[in-house]
Each structure stands twice: as C-alpha cells, then as structure tokens.
A and B are shown apart, each in its own frame.
Chain A
Amino acid sequence: MSIQVSPTLPDVESEIRSELGLSGSAQKRQACLSRLLELAIASPSPASWLQSLRDRATAQVQSQSFPSNRNEGWRFTDLSDLLGIEFAAAANSSVQLADLAAYVLPEAEHSRLVFVDGVYAPHLSALSHLPATLQVGNLAALAEPDELLSYLAQQSGADELFTALNTAGLSDAAVIVLPKQLVVDPPIHLLFVATGGDPRSAQADQRPTLTQPRCLVVAGVNSALTLIEDYVTLGSGVCLTNAVTEIWLAENVQVNHTRVQRDSLAAFHIGKTAVSQARSSRYIGNALSFGAALSRHHLEIYQTGEQTETTLNGLTMIAGTQVGDLHSAIALTQPYGTTRQLQKCIVGDRAHAIFNGKVLVPRAAQLTDAGQLNRTLLLSPKARVDTKPQLEIVADNVKCTHGATVGQLEADEVFYLQSRGIDAASARRLLVYAFAYEIIDQIAIASLKQTLCQFITSHTD
C-alpha cells in the first residue's frame, strides 16, 4: 500500500488581491464572471419554486471569483482564453433530426432526450419505448416538479463556482425519476447539442454562446438504469458549455452511466457529474473526453451508505493544442465501500492532459478498498500530462492503492507489428487503439462503442 497525502494549499488569491488591489487581469476575470452570471440570470425561470434555488446560487457565484491558475485546483488549467470572449445567450435554432444522424444510437432510438443549447427539443426526442411508471422528460413539463426540490442542486459541492453558475440560470433540465424496483431495459440517451456558430443557428451575428445543460437522475430502491450523456456541437463556432449532472442512487440501485464529450475544437466545456450512492448501490461511470479546445470535468462521488461499489473508467484523448482536465473526488464515508478508478489519457501534439484524483477516507470508512490508476500515453515530445493522486486517509483499517504511469509508444511494439507486414503508421494506430480499448470496452452500448473506436482510429496519425 502506498499513501500520499497532499497538502491543500490555501486560496492565496484573496490574500493577494487584498494586498495589491485588483490587478488588470483580476478585473478581467471579474468582468467575465459578471457577464456569464448576467447571461445565466437572464434565462427564463419557468416556475417560482425554481427562483429561490436560482437566487441562492446567484449569491454563491457573487461571493466567489473567477479562477486563475493561482488557485490550486486550476493550476494547470488556464481559463484566460475565456476572458476576452463576449458570450451571448444562444438564440433559437432550427436543428433537424437529420442534422443529428451521426449521433443517434439505434439502441436508444425510442429512448432519447435531446436538448439544443440547453432547451428541450421534443421534435428531436423519442420516448415511446419506456415504461409508463418512469418519469422522464424535461423539468419544465413535469407535473409535480417541486418533489425534486430535495434533489435538485442538493449534492455536496453544489456551491462550486461553475455548478452554482449553472443553477443560477436553471430554466430547464433533463429529468429521469425511477420508482423503486423499476429496471429500465433500453438505455436512455441524453443528447446535449450546442449550436455555437452553426449555420442552422438563428444567431445572425454568430456570437459565441453560453449554454448550460442540466440533468437530474433520481433512482429509487432496487431500480436499474443505463444512461448515456452525450455532448456534441454542430458547427465550429466558439461556445461555452457549462453542464451539471446530478445522480442519486437509493439503496441497491445500479446505474451504468457513460458520459461522452465530443464538442468541436472551438468549444470550451466545463462539466460536473455529482453522484450520491446509498447503501449497497453500484455506480459504473465511463467518462470519455475527446473534444473542446479546453475541457474540465469535475467528477464527484459521495458514498453515503455501507457496501457501495463505484467503478470509474475514463479516457481523455486530445491533440493539437487541446487541454483536457479531469478532477475527480471520491468520498468514502461508510464502511465496506469499494472504488475502482482507471483513468487513461492519450495526448498528442502539444496537447495537455490533467488528472487530479482525490480519494477521501475518513475515520468512519473502515474496511474500505479504494484503487486508482492513471495511465498516460504521450504521442509527441511536446505533449504533456500533469497527474496528481490525492489520497486523504484517516481510517486505519483500509486498503488504498494508487499509481500513475506515463509512457510513449514503445519502438519494440511498433516493430513487432511491422515485422508482420503492417506499416508503421497503421502499427501506431493499432497500438493507440489497443490502449484506448480497455476503456471503450466498458461501454454497454455496442453502436457507441463502434463509433468511438472509429473515432480513435481516425484521430491517430
């Protein structure tokens, strides 16, 4: 067993600001945040009960400052490219189903919810093959939405800046509520489309857009669900997606969740996945990140009952000048919990991957078993990864392991394939594919698996 306890650096920024007054860049950051908050608040609020949530979140945003790389959590992920951008709200777009042909999954042909720029698109969605007792749809259309008040924006960490920014502008959301005992057979596909700069967008001046998708899943005792959360962009304009997904697993629930981020290379993507697991529940999360100029994914697991199982598989594959950041935090708070995390990164050109994996094991979490591994494949000499396991262990009778490996394609491996008549470029493609496949293989949806395999092969040169 090896343990590393990383010291948490104090937030030095507020101290510096008080000493020096607001510097130019600090002013720019505040201006950017104010602009984003203004946009969020301006979104329509369909119900009065939502307004109080929004107001509270607004206050949370106002009490924080826009992160710079002086914040420990943002040391390697530089948001300064966002500062100069004048974001606007997305206008209504006229996306048709044919535009989404590449993203439609046959397995979920009749169990798909589509949101375009954060707005529910009933004409693109299909919900005919789902059990009648399942509540699924958009928040604004639900009969008794206030029942969700104890779940919506109630996960720990809801006050984090970007999560609060999303809540401050919350006007609609994808909602899935499983009653107890319900096992949903078809996978449910949540497709979030951003149309930044797309010709189909009604946005005449093609200004960069802000969209804030939201998703809430509440799974009752003994229920089971397979969920695909899919982020795509149409067009290649600049857009910022700030997504939040909250998932609540009651006792003995099983959720198999695959999150795919395949935005355009002009996009910025900030996302939160917060999962709360009650006793004996099993959560399998596959998080795949391919797109966006800059992406940041906060993945937070809260084990709130005994004997919970968490499996996290992640793949970040980036190239060019992309930045791909995964910050995960797993809190084991009860005895007998297990977690398995495997995060793989494939980094080409001058791209930069970041992995920060926090695991918290407080005194109450005895007899828990936590394993974490980060493996990175660097495809170019200028490619970079910053990897940081962060285990904070107080309980004394636990098993915790972590590891990180960083490597390149081995000349011997390429040679082996060449010696069988396979040319060097194909050999490299095959080896990258093989590295990625361990994660792709965990996806429960065959068509998505195949699409992503093709994507990986076509993006390796």
Chain B
Amino acid sequence: MYKYDAIDQQIVNERVKQYRDQTRRYLAGELSDEEFRPLRLQNGLYIQRHAPMLRIAVPYGMLSSKQLRKLGDIAKRYDRGYGHFSTRQNLQLNWPKLEDVPEILAELATVQMHAIQTSGNCIRNITTDQFASIAPDEVIDPRAMAEVMRQWSTFHPEFALLPRKFKIAVSGTKEDRAIVQAHDIGLEFYKDSNNQVAIKVWVGGGLGRTPILGTVIREHLEWQHALTYCEAIIRVYNMHGRRDNAYKARIKILVKALGIDEFGRQVEEEWAHIKDGPNTITEAELHRVAQHFEPMPYESLPAHDAGFDTALASNPAFAAWVKRCTHPHKQAGYRAVTLSLKPHGKAPGDITSEQMHLVADLADTYSFGELRASHEQNLILADVKLSDLFALWEKARAAGLATPNIGLLTDIICCPGGDFCSLANAKSIPIAEAIQMQFDNLDYLHEIGDIELNISGCMNACGHHHVGHIGILGVDKDGSEWYQVTIGGKQGNDASIGTVIGRAFSAEEMPGVVQRLIEVYLKERTDEERFIDTARRLGIAPFKAHVYAEKEAV
C-alpha cells in the first residue's frame, strides 16, 4: 500500500499544527461556533448527540496492521474502546473529547493517517472496491489513481468550500463493487480498443434526500486527464451549484436542472482551457505511486490444498464460513477473507480495540500485514493461502469475527443512526439488531441466500438504503420514529433505486415486516432467483399485499 514520503508526512504534520491552533482559538472564544463548524467538519469532527464524533480517513479502504493497532490504541485511550467502520470505508469514534482531537490527530500522523476532508462541503475520501488488485474480474487496479486523486483533492484551494459535500468513487472491475453510479463523480477504469487505460466518467449520482443514479458524461477519457477533467466538472459545479437551498445543493440537482447535454457542454468548454495543463498526470508520477501497489510476493501454489479440502468436507461450520466469507483470488492457492463485523445482535460495523489488535495480528500472520475496510462495513484480509484458512477461521471465530453471513440478510449495512447522530430522525442500530435476532438461524439465512438489507436513520442515506434490495429509512412523524421500507434497490452495474412499498412502520413492527417480505420471496421465487430478481420481476405489488394484508387482519 502507499507509504508516505517526506512531503506527505509534512502535510499531515502541518495539518495537525493548523488544527491544534484552530481548536485552541475555538476554546478561547476567538472563533464562533459558526466559524469553527466548517473547520472541524473538514477534519471529520461532528458535534453529536452525546459527544463529538471523529471520522478518521481510511483512503480507499486500505489499512496496514500497524495503523489498525494504532486505531485500537486510540479508541482505548480517547474513546470507549471501540470504533465503527462506516459505509465510506472510514473509521468513526463516537466518544472523543473535542479538546483531545488535536492529540488524536498527532497520534494518527505517526502512522500516516489523518481525518482530512472526511466531512464538510469538500471532496471526501475516495472509495473503491475492497477487492482491488485481487479480484479475478479486475481489469485495472484503481488504487494508484485513487492515491493520485487523494493527493490532488487534499486541501484543493479552489474546492475547499463547495456548495455541498462531494464524493468520488473509482472502480476497475467488470462487476462494479464501488457503486460508482451513486457518487457525485464515478470513474470506471477500463482498457480501450487500443489496449490503453481509459476512464468512463459518471456524474451526478447520489443518494440522500433525492436519490439519483449518475449519468455518463464521457465514455472515454485518457487516464492522464483524470485530474483536469474532474477540475472542470467541479469548477462548473462550484460556480453554478445551488447555494440558496442546502437540500438542492448537490451536483446531481445541477446536472438534472441543466440536463446532461448542457452540463457536459459547459464542462467540455471549461476543460478545453485546462486540458494538458500542469495537473495532467505524467507516466512518471503514476509509476511512482503504482510502485506502492505492486502485487504481493505470492508463493507459487497449486489451485488445491489437500488439508483445506479435508477440513471443508468434514467441518460443516467451516464450510459455511468458506462459502460466505471467502472470495476468489487472481492468484492460484489464495483467497480473500471477509471478517464479519455483523455478529447477530451487535451494531453493524462496530469493532472493539481488542478485536482491532487481533485482526492486525491476523493480517501480519496470514495476509502480508495489510487489510481493507469495505463499504459494507466489514474487514477484508485480501491475500490468504488456502492452507491457512482453517487456522485463521478458528482464531477469527474465537474473536467473534467469523459469522458466516457475508452477503446474507444479517450482513446489514447500517448508519450509526439516532443513538449517536444528531442528524438522524430515528434509531437504526436497534432495528438492525432486532432483524438480526429475528433471523438468527444460519440454515434459514442460507436458504434465503444473497440479499442486501440497508438501513439509514435519515434521508441523508449514510446507510445507502436506496440501493438495498430491502431498504429501511428512519423518518420522523410528529416527533416519533417510523420506518419506511423500499424494495428493489441494487448496487452494481445494473444499479437501481428502490421503490417505497407503502406507509411507514413502527420499530416493533420492523422484524415482522422483513419476515413477510422474505415469505413472499420464498413462495414466489424460481430456482436460482435471488430476492432482488424476484422483486424486479414481480414489482412491489405482491410484497405490499402480503405485508399490509396481515397487518390489517391483526
């Protein structure tokens, strides 16, 4: 993974110094709340319900074991001994003290980490596929370009105060796993007809209050122009994005208002001025960064391992875990492993300091000392030998990190919700926990099969509910908490936004509602059909009928 040179280190060190002084001035009363707000936000610090929340950047989800240990230590020392992995692959601390944040940042800087631009109206952490570089369907490893873009976007002077937040995702696979269509800019890398690396550029996607999937603004962009082209897009947005209404300020609203043709025309006109300028990426710079992402020193292994095959045949629990929690790898004899942060009845994405240390040890022992966070809020060991899987499983299981539910109903994507977040309309974690307990039966979960259930506590949609096969949105009705249900949303190349099935439900009703949706699916599905396929084929009608019919009968 990328390692800082003296320049990178100086920037994070200077940032710590700058933020320390900003905090000092705020505490001394020299900065008003309103003046401090964008400053702390651009450093990932929210003022929450109980305490501030600090969002630490995990660039494109990559972490070293050393960094994870440091995060574990920070969570222990400055928080309550746990952290929360978010849907933007970042780590959030729920209970730090505002005055401790400069110290936390100083500690982070010692392991080449920071909290720069993890919030605020600026370019946020750039996200990508958690299986970058190892996925068999990968065409381009997008991480070097993601790092080049991270550096470019860090303290970008022109885009320091945009109309609203700005999210970029990059992907280099045939099967999109980075939800590029749900981002302000999505960059899809591919090889063009001349076998050169090119980018398909999506713009104007986003979830939130007004969910819209992105539109292709350019089918073919040479990779050298990624920065200048993004500058042209963001410049048009910075000047013309709505600043008169915070709810209509995302780029998607501007793109819809102008139409993609007119928006594209303005971007191309702007780009003509800066194309081939100094921010054009050179081969040398890409090469310098790409050296940090060379393939791991893999052993030459056969595609099968006798010990692994035996364990698989003789141990059903291990076999279930392998089926759900390991993933194919480009390199023969290796698998990627997802450590589930979704044990039933616990807050999705949460991890204790002790678990962080254990995962760091596992990464050192089995996976070259590196790991990744996924936008589904799990941790990935990307490079594990088949012969190590059984030993790894036993250790992970003992630490509560081997629930074989990846991709199943209880692998719920969930925002922190009303328990922590001051923006939330409703709690989300207790809903996730209640659903997990309702379906706390692995055989049943496996029978239901692949399904994605996403929960957001408000329309800001941090839990990506719009693209969940089942989406749950917390809403406020006359001061009490209700939940609106959508079905038919999906991430990936054929992304779609879910459809609301009808009036909202109380928290107590939610496990039963999900149960009834599943009943319709199990009754109606054809062989090989996943929940999403059945939902798309039938539409919402039969689901709606069953969910509400039973309610009225009660």
Partners in one complex: no
Taking beta carbons and an 8 Å cutoff, which residues of A are in contact with B?
none
Taking beta carbons and an 8 Å cutoff, which residues of B are in contact with A?
none
